[in-house]
């Protein structure tokens, strides 16, 4: 049996409990951020526990990836599966012996019971209830089995689950820190399975036991768990434990404000945003405001500033929209705050084909213009390959082919030896020939980049190099001849 440590009830302790069933959702990261801030502001502890009781959906390596993702966002924990702590183990499948002790206590008290119903019977029961427009729930068929019947079934090794006894027609009242007083009638609550047929506890049972033994004082979680809270309240009552304080956070809405944030509107995993080149500090600043506000006009917060300012009182009841334009704005801001030296390694990660010298040339040119780091490979594609394009693109502004040839031929003469004062030289060339500035640079831009949407071409040419620049102009001329 794992030895359990005593915990100071006055000490604020929060937790997140990711399930290793896939990638860590960005909405979960927001919950993680709020849990972290609440604990750190009050000099408490922030704990991570892996809830791996759903073995059917278990994904190998998911737990490690989740922990690494949270670390990469700069949210460090005080106790957890990788660093241990006085209240471990911090992985639920390593705590099965603990759960056996507490489920036996519930059964002995008459607050839980064996259920030997087959899946076929349960499916038929729920189908009938739905057809009769009743709330689908277990009918307590096994609640009144005699001790002899139960023992006989156990001796015969008939598969079973263990269910929670829900009292009839009782009002469960609890105070939600965001939503205020919440009431549920137990007639609407199912006799929740606490131990599955494989002997592994469900979330509902394991989370309550673990939160109590780990001294969790505040549980922040998504509003989808609101209807499960009465079951958890009953478990705390049955064990004669003090329940933590609950705060059920709003869901994140799609950018159009319609429906829960989904993959149809882009990536939703916390890791994917880092992979796209969003900075951790920008993402955290963005997430802070998805359900919270400081009560002031302050827009930019470091993590430390957020911790000092955070208050549950300022959490919202209305679901926020996941505004990607706002995220892009914040990320662009944070990129521009970094020095060229700080940006060097970030650029290098996303520009794998670029040399160090090329990156040093590109940083001051591009840092004011990119929204996220994954924009870099697209914007600089012309540096590393010849991009195919049609002759018509060179003549996008209705330019006469002969004029385009003249523009590129004379530009080549200006560039032929070096890039010194090239912007001035090209502007002088435009004036001398009385060309339209926009028309000239459209032709020139397409000739070099193969597209009309480009970074500042002239400033990027030193990264391309003289030989390749002249070569690209020759390719464009060949298309026009």
Q: What b-and-e string marks burial along 324-346, b requiring 16 or more CB atoms within 10 Å of the CB?
A: eeebbebbbebbeeeeeeebeeb
> Cis bond leading into 24, ω under 30°?
no
Are 219 and 236 in contact by the 8 Å Cβ rule? The answer is no
Query: What whole-number distance in Å separates Cα of residue 167 and Cα of residue 107?
Result: 15
Per the DSSP assignment, residues forming a β-bridge with 47 are: 15, 79
Output the CA torsion sign for 282, 285, 287, 290. negative
First to last CA, the chain: 85
263 has catalytic annotation: yes
Sheet with 193-195: strands ordered across: 112-115, 161-164, 193-195
Catalytic residue among 263, 318, 325, 402: 263
Q: What are phi and psi of 14, to 5 degrees?
A: -115, 165
Cβ atoms of 228 and 184 closer than 8 Å: no
For the chain, what is the largest distance between any 2 Cα atoms, rounded to a whole number of angstroms?
Answer: 106
User: Distance between CA atoms of 167 and 191, rounded to whole angstroms?
Assistant: 9
Helix (H), strand (E) at residue 183: strand 180-185
Is the Cα dihedral 406, 407, 409, 414 positive or negative? positive
Residue 195 dihedral angles phi and psi, to the nearest 5° = -125, 125
C-beta of residue 38 within 8 angstroms of C-beta of residue 14: yes
Helices (H), 110-213: 119-131, 147-155, 203-213
Q: What phi, psi does 356 have (nearest 5°)? A: -60, -40
Which class for 150: exposed (0-12), middle (13-18), buried (19 or more C-beta within 10 A)? middle
| CB contact at 8 A, 304 and 310 | no
Q: Which helix H or strand E contains 346, and what residues bound it?
A: helix 340-350
Residues that are catalytic:
263
């Amino acid at each position: 049996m794992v030895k359990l440590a005593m915990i100071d009830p006055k000490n604020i302790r929060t937790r997140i409990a990711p399930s290793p069933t896939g990638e860590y959702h960005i909405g979960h990261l927001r919950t993680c951020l709020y849990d972290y801030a609440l604990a750190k502001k009050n000099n408490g502890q922030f704990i991570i526990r892996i809830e791996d009781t759903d073995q059917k959906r278990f994904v190998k390596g998911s737990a490690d990836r989740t922990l690494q993702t949270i670390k990469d966002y700069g949210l460090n924990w005080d106790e957890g599966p990788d660093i241990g702590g006085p209240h471990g183990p911090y992985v639920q499948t390593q705590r099965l012996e603990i759960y056996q002790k507490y489920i036996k206590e519930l059964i002995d008290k008459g607050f839980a019971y064996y259920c030997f119903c087959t899946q076929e019977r349960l499916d038929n029961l729920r189908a009938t209830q739905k057809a009769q427009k009743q709330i689908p729930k277990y009918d307590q068929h096994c609640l009144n089995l005699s001790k002899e019947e139960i023992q006989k079934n156990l001796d015969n090794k008939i598969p079973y689950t263990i269910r929670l006894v829900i009292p009839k027609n009782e009002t469960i009242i609890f105070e939600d820190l965001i939503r205020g007083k919440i009431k549920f009638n137990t007639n609407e609550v199912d006799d929740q399975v606490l131990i599955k047929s494989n002997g592994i506890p469900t979330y509902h049972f394991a989370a309550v036991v673990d939160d109590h033994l780990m001294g969790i004082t505040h549980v922040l979680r998504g509003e989808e768990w609101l209807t499960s809270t009465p079951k958890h309240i009953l478990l705390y009552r049955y064990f004669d434990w003090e329940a933590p304080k609950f705060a059920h956070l709003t869901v994140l809405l799609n950018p159009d404000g319609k429906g829960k944030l989904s993959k149809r509107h882009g990536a939703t995993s916390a890791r994917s945003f880092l992979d796209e080149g969003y900075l951790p500090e920008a993402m955290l600043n963005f997430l802070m405001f998805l359900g919270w506000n400081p009560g002031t006009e302050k827009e930019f917060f470091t993590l430390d500033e957020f911790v000092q300012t955070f208050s549950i009182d300022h959490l919202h009841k209305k679901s926020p929209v996941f505004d990607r334009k706002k995220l892009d704005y914040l990320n662009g801001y944070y990129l521009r705050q970094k020095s060229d030296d700080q940006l060097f390694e970030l650029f290098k990660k996303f520009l794998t084909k670029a040399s160090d010298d090329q990156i040093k040339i590109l940083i001051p040119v591009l840092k004011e213009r990119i929204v996220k780091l994954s924009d870099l490979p697209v914007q600089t594609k012309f540096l590393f390959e010849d991009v195919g394009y049609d002759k018509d693109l060179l003549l996008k502004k209705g330019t006469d082919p002969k004029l385009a040839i003249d523009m590129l031929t004379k530009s080549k003469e200006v560039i032929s030896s070096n890039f010194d004062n090239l912007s001035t030289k090209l502007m002088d060339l435009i004036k001398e020939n009385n060309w339209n500035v926009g028309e000239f640079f459209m032709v020139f831009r397409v000739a070099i980049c193969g597209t009309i949407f480009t970074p500042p071409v002239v400033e990027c040419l030193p990264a391309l190099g003289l030989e390749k620049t002249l070569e690209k102009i020759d390719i464009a001329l060949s298309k026009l001849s």
